[in-house]
C-alpha cells in the first residue's frame, strides 16, 4: 500500500463509520495560544473547550502538523519530523472509548493488515476501563497492555484549566531491540524497538483551578496517527525516510548532492534533515509564513537555515534547497493543491533566504572557528550573541557544531543578552512589551506559546507577498 493509499483508506474507513471527512486546516492555527498546528485536534479546540457547538459530531481528517519540540531528533531517529501528517478521528460528545479502541484496532489489523502479534498497547495506569476493553473486547494479551504514568499517558489541559483525560497508544514491535538488547523490553522501556503509531485520547475530565478533575458531561475522542510512521510499518521499512512518501525527495537530494543515501551514516543524517526540513519550509511558505527574526518567521528561518547547513555538510556550495522543495511540491501537490498554487513563491522565497544564508555562513564561520579554538569547555553567551548579532549566525547551528566538538554552550547567558537587546529595541521604538517570550522558547516549545504578534506578522506577510 502506498502512503497516499493509506491516507485515503483511513479517511474512507472512518467515513464508513459515520464520520464527516474534513480537509486539513492551515499550519497556522486561529489560536492565540499556539504558533503552529501541532496535532489534528488543534482546529477543533473551541469544540473541545465547549465554546463552539459542533456541526458534525464525528469527524476524520488528515492534518498538516508542525512540531519544533522534536527538531533535535529529526534525522537522528527514524520516526521524528518537524512537518508531518496526522491522521485522526474525532468524536464530539458522540462515541467514546469502546468505539475508538475497537475501530483503531479494526483499521490497523483489517485494513492495514498489520499482524496482531506485533502490536502492543499502553494505557494510563488508572484506566481500568481501557484495560478491560483492550483485554476483553479486543483480545490483547494482558502482558501486552502496559500501564504508564501521567507524563506519557494522560493528556493534560493546554493551560491551567480545561478538558483533559487519559490516553492509550498503539505501538508496533519493529523487532530492532536497542543497545541494551533486553529481551523482556516493552514500549515503556524501549522506544527503539517499539514504535508509537497511534494515540487515542479520551477527553473525559475537566480540570479546575485547584487541579481537581470533574467528569465532563460530554466526553470526546481525539486520536492521532502519524501517516509517515504508519506507512513505514505497512511498507516494512525501518525508517519513515525510506517510505514511498519520501522516495522522490530523497532521490532529488541524491541527484543534487551527488551523495548516495546509506553510504555514510553522518551524511545520511544530513540527507534526512534536508528531506524533512524541505517539507516544513515548503508547507510553511504555502501557508503564508516568511523568513524573519520573529515568531513564526523565525522558526521558518531556523528550519530553512538548518537544512542549508546540512547541505554544506554534504559538500554543497550554492543554493539547492529550493530544488528539493520542487520535488516536495511535485510529490505532494495532488493532495495539497496549495503547493502548486504557490509554487513560484515557495521557490523564490527559499532561494532568496538561502542566498542570504550562504553569505552569512561564509562570513560567520571564520569567527566561529576562532571562537571554537579559544573556548575550553563552553562557548560563552557573549560569543554566541556576537555571532548572531553580527552575522545572523543561528545559535542552533553553533549548538550543533559545539556538540560535534564536545563543547557546551551557555544558552542562558546568550538569552540574557538577547532579552536586553530586545528591550533596547523596544524602548527605541517606544513600544510596550507585547510578549514575554524568548527565542529559545521558540526553539523548544511550540505548544502553549503565547503568540501576540499576529498583526505584525500579517502586515509583513502582505508586504512580502
Ligand atoms: P513520540 O513519543 O514518538 O514523540 P508523541 O507521543 O509525542 O510521539 P503524539 O503527541 O501522541 O506523539 O501524536 C500522535 C501521533 O503523531 C504519534 O503517535 C505519532 O504517530 C505521530 N507523531 C508525533 N510526533 C511526531 C513527529 N515529530 N514526527 C512524526 N510523527 C509524529
Ligand atoms: Mg513527542
Ligand atoms: Mg509518545
Ligand atoms: Mg503519544
Q: How many CB atoms lie within 10 A of CB 203?
A: 26
393 band by pLDDT with thresholds 50, 70 and 90: confident
- 306 contacts 396 by C-beta, under 8 angstroms: yes
Residue 257 Cα to ligand 4 midpoint, Å, equals 35
Q: How many CB atoms lie within 10 A of CB 336?
A: 21
Last residue of a domain, which of 193, 213, 235?
235
More confident residue, 438 or 278: 278
Name every protein residue with a CB atom under 6 angstroms from any ligand 1 atom: 39, 67, 70, 80-81, 84, 86, 196-199, 224-226, 228-229
Q: Per-residue pLDDT for 332 more than 80?
A: yes
CA of 196 to the centre of ligand 4 (A): 7
CATH number at residue 87: 3.30.930.10
- For residues 260 and 230, membership in a common domain is answered with no
CA of 168 to the centre of ligand 4 (A): 8
Which is nearest to 144 in space by CA: 90, 88, 105? Answer: 105
- In the predicted model, is pLDDT for residue 159 greater than 50? yes
Please indicate, yes or no, whether residues 231 and 283 belong to a single structural domain of this protein: no
Q: For residue 81, how far is its CA from the centre of ligand 2 (angstroms)?
A: 10
Bridge partners, residue 66, by sequence: 83
pLDDT band at 360 (very low <50, low <70, confident <90, very high): confident
CA dihedral 230, 233, 236, 242 (to 10 degrees): 50
Tens-place pLDDT, residues 220-250: 999 999 999 999 999 999 999 999 999 999 9
Do the domain assignments include residue 372? yes
Dump pLDDT digits (tens) for 54-63.
999 999 999 9
Q: How much is the pLDDT for 156? A: 82
- List Cα–Cα distances, 264 to 215, 267, 271, 401, in angstroms: 54, 5, 10, 19
Asked whether 71 and 78 are in contact (CB, 8 A), the reply is: no
Q: Is residue 240 part of a domain?
A: no
Pair (229, 359) in one structural domain: no
**451 and 399 within one domain:** yes
| Beta strand segments in 174-319, E | 194-207, 213-226
Q: Which residue is closest in CA terms to ligand 1's atom 20?
A: 226
**How far is ligand 3, taken at its centre, from the CA of residue 151, in Å?**
9
- Give phi and psi for 443, each to the nearest 5: -70, -40
Copy the grid coordinates of residue 252: 532529488
Same domain? 192 vs 44: yes
According to DSSP, the residues that pair with 86 across neighbouring strands are 63, 226
State residue 447's pLDDT score. 31
Question: In this structure, is residue 241 part of a structural domain?
Answer: no
In a domain, 439, yes or no: yes
> 36, 86, 170, 447: which to mutate for ligand 1, most atoms within 8 A of CB?
86
Span 395-422, pLDDT tens digits: 877 887 888 888 999 999 999 999 998 8
pLDDT tier at 428 (50, 70, 90 boundaries)?
confident
- 550573541: which residue's cell? 385
Output the pLDDT for position 181. Answer: 55
**H or E, element range at 5:** helix 3-16
Query: Which of 17-26, 419-428, 445-454 is the most confident on average?
Result: 17-26
- Phi and psi dihedrals of 409, rounded to 5? -130, 130
Quote the percentage of the chain above a pLDDT of 70: 90
Give the mean model confidence (pLDDT) for residues 271-299: 96
Supply the pLDDT for residue 55.
96
Whether the per-residue pLDDT at 194 is higher than 90: the answer is: yes
Q: How many CA atoms lie within 13 A of 244 on its CB side?
A: 11
Distance CA 289, CA 300 (A): 7
Same domain, 87 and 108: yes
Are 95 and 191 found together in one domain? yes
What's the pLDDT at 380? 94
| Residue with CA nearest ligand 1 atom 12 | 199
Average pLDDT over residues 127-139: 98
Contacts of 106 (CB under 8 A, 6+ apart): 13
Higher-confidence residue of 421 and 278: namely 278
* 333 contacts 346 by C-beta, under 8 angstroms: no
| Top-confidence residue, 365 or 14 | 14
Q: What is the pLDDT of residues 211-221, one digit of tens each?
A: 899 999 899 99
From the CA of 224, which ligand is nearest?
1
Computed on alpha carbons and rounded to an integer, the radius of gyration of the chain in Å comes to 23
Atom 14 of ligand 1: nearest residue by CA position? 224
pLDDT at residue 403, as a whole number = 83
Ligand nearest, relative to CA of residue 39? 1
Determine the residue of 36, 79, 158, 283 to mutate for testing ligand 1's pocket, defined as the one with the most ligand atoms within 8 A of the Cβ atom: 79
Are 32 and 180 part of one and the same domain?
yes
- What pLDDT does residue 179 have? 54
In angstroms, the CA 132 to CA 256 distance is 53
Q: Does residue 446 surpass a pLDDT of 50?
A: no
Q: How many domains does the chain have?
A: 2
From the CA of 198, which ligand is nearest? 1
Q: Which of 208, 235, 262 is the last residue of a domain?
A: 235
Which segment, 30-34, 296-300, 392-396, is predicted with the most confidence on average?
A: 296-300
CA–CA separation, 450 and 461 (whole Å): 20
39 and 182 co-located in one domain: yes
Rounded distance, CA 444 to CA 124, Å? Answer: 26
Residues present in the chain in total:
465
Q: Does one domain contain both 230 and 265?
A: no
Are 97 and 195 part of one and the same domain? Answer: yes
* pLDDT tens per residue, range 64-97: 999 999 998 999 999 999 999 999 999 999 999 9
pLDDT at residue 433 tops 60: no
Name the nearest CA neighbour of 91 among 198, 13, 16, 18: 18
Chain centroid to CA 80 = 7
Which residue, of 171, 203, 235, is where some domain finishes?
235
**Does residue 433 fall inside a structural domain?**
yes
Indicate whether 455 pLDDT > 90: no
pLDDT value at 454 more than 90? no
Domain for residue 11, yes or no? yes
| % of the chain beyond a pLDDT of 90 | 73
Domain membership flag for residue 296: yes
Parent domain of 358: 246-464
pLDDT at residue 425 is higher than 90: no
Judge contact between 419 and 438, C-beta under 8 A: yes
Helix (H) or strand (E) holding 395: helix 395-405
Phi, psi of 434 (to 5 degrees): -100, -20
Strands 162-173, 119-124: pairing kind: antiparallel
Distance CA 402, CA 198 (A): 35
Q: What is the pLDDT of residues 90-121, one digit of tens each?
A: 999 999 999 999 999 999 999 999 999 999 99
Return the ligand 1 atom nearest residue 152 CA: 6
Residue nearest to atom 1 of ligand 1 (CA): 196
Same domain, 203 and 100: yes
> 128 CA to middle of ligand 1, Å?
24
What's the CA-to-centroid distance between 366 and ligand 3, angstroms? 41
Place of cell 477543533: 44
pLDDT reading at 180 higher than 60 = no
Residue pair 91/218 in contact (Cβ under 8 Å)? The answer is no
Residue 389's pLDDT band (cuts 50, 70, 90) = confident
- On average, the pLDDT of the chain sits at 89
Q: What pLDDT score was predicted for residue 158? A: 66
Q: Which of 147-156, 356-365, 386-395, 452-461 has the lowest mean pLDDT?
A: 452-461
Amino acid at each position: 500500500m502506498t502512503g497516499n493509499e493509506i491516507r485515503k483508506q483511513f479517511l474512507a474507513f472512518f467515513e464508513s463509520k459515520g464520520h464527516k471527512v474534513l480537509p486539513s486546516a492551515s499550519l497556522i492555527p486561529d489560536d492565540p495560544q499556539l504558533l503552529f498546528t501541532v496535532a489534528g485536534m488543534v482546529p477543533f479546540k473551541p469544540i473541545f473547550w465547549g465554546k463552539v457547538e459542533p456541526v458534525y459530531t464525528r469527524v476524520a481528517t488528515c492534518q498538516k502538523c508542525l512540531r519544533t519540540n522534536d527538531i533535535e531528533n529529526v534525522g537522528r531517529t527514524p520516526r521524528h519530523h518537524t512537518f508531518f501528517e496526522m491522521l485522526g478521528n474525532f468524536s464530539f460528545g458522540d462515541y467514546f472509548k469502546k468505539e475508538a479502541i475497537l475501530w483503531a484496532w479494526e483499521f490497523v489489523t483489517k485494513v492495514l493488515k498489520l499482524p496482531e502479534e506485533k502490536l502492543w498497547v499502553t494505557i494510563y495506569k488508572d484506566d481500568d476501563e481501557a484495560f478491560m476493553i483492550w483485554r476483553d473486547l479486543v483480545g490483547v494479551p494482558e502482558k501486552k497492555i502496559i500501564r504508564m504514568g501521567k507524563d506519557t499517558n494522560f493528556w493534560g489541559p493546554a493551560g491551567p484549566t480545561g478538558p483533559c483525560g487519559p490516553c492509550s497508544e498503539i505501538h508496533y514491535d519493529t523487532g530492532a531491540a536497542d543497545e541494551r538488547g533486553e529481551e523482556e523490553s516493552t514500549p515503556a522501556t524501549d522506544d527503539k524497538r517499539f514504535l508509537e503509531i497511534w494515540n487515542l485520547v479520551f477527553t473525559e475530565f475537566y480540570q479546575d483551578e485547584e487541579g481537581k478533575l470533574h467528569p465532563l458531561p460530554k466526553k470526546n475522542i481525539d486520536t492521532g496517527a502519524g501517516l509517515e510512521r504508519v506507512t513505514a510499518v505497512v511498507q516494512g521499512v525501518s525508517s519513515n525516510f525510506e517510505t514511498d512518501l519520501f522516495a522522490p525527495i530523497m532521490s532529488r537530494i541524491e541527484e543534487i548532492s551527488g551523495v548516495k543515501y546509506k553510504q555514510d551514516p553522518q551524511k545520511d543524517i544530513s540527507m534526512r534533515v534536508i528531506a524533512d526540513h524541505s517539507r516544513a519550509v515548503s508547507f510553511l511558505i504555502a501557508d503564508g509564513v516568511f523568513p524573519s527574526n520573529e515568531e513564526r518567521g523565525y522558526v521558518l528561518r531556523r528550519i530553512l537555515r538548518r537544512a542549508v547547513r546540512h547541505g554544506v555538510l554534504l559538500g554543497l556550495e550554492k543554493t539547492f534547497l529550493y530544488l528539493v522543495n520542487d520535488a516536495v511540491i511535485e510529490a505532494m501537490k495532488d493532495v495539497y493543491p496549495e503547493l502548486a498554487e504557490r509554487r513560484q513563491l515557495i521557490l523564490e522565497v527559499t532561494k532568496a533566504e538561502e542566498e542570504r544564508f550562504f553569505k552569512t555562513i561564509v562570513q560567520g564561520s571564520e569567527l566561529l572557528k576562532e571562537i571554537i579554538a579559544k573556548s575550553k569547555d563552553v562557548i560563552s553567551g557573549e560569543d554566541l550573541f556576537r555571532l548572531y548579532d553580527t552575522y545572523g549566525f543561528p545559535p542552533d547551528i553553533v549548538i550543533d557544531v559545539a556538540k560535534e566538538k564536545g563543547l557546551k554552550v551557555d544558552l542562558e547567558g546568550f538569552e540574557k543578552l538577547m532579552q536586553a537587546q530586545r528591550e533596547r529595541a523596544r524602548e527605541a521604538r517606544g513600544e510596550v512589551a507585547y510578549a514575554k517570550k524568548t527565542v529559545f522558547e521558540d526553539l523548544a516549545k511550540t505548544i502553549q506559546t503565547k503568540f501576540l504578534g499576529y498583526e505584525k506578522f500579517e502586515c509583513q506577510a502582505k508586504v512580502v507577498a
